[in-house]
Amino acid sequence: MTDLARVEPATLDQLNDLVELVMELFRIEADFKPDRAKQEQGLRLILEQPSRGRIFMVRTDHKIIGMVNLLFTISTAEGGFVILMEDVIIHPDHRGHGYGSILLEHVLEFARKKGFLRITLLTDAISAESQRFFHRFGFERSHMIPMRLNLPTDAAS
């Protein structure tokens, strides 16, 4: 066995580790608050429905270092399938070692092989480092701005 980092699809077996990573991400995000039950439910929904998305993790034999989730939808602007990329996180202890690049290169290859036409992501407006990272891979700033409406939980029923 090797301890080299590699990217693999996540499964329900890794759910607890993935929840921890997402909670770490939300601790530093201004727009979100960590909520273990919500993060677990969201990740579970993706893992149980591969036609709606995928979660990839970068790991060694002993530890999950980071993750990304990809949600699949259809764009009328592109005339086909596109990806909404969320929750790109490398554990703080492992940043700056190229693991984020390994993960993102895997995502781009996956998207190309599957014929997706665009990847959209949201990144912190205040994080120039994060923006520079994605720019290195060809991501460009959009003229669109995100807007959000959180619906009360009883509206979903």
What mean pLDDT do residues 77-91 have? Answer: 96
Q: Are 89 and 10 in contact (CB under 8 A)?
A: no
Determine which helix (DSSP H) or strand (DSSP E) holds 36, and give its type and residue range. Answer: helix 36-48
Burial, 44: exposed, middle or buried (Cβ in 10 Å; 0-12, 13-18, 19+)?
middle
Q: Are 85 and 25 in contact (CB under 8 A)?
A: no
| Beta pairing, strands 6-9 & 80-90 | unpaired
Render pLDDT for 35-65 as a digit per residue (tens, 0 to 9).
999 999 999 999 999 999 999 999 988 899 9
For residue 9, pLDDT beyond 90 = yes
What mean pLDDT do residues 1-10 have? Answer: 82
What structural domains does the chain harbor? 6-145 (3.40.630.30)
Render pLDDT for 105-114 as a digit per residue (tens, 0 to 9).
999 999 999 9
What mean pLDDT do residues 56-84 have? Answer: 96
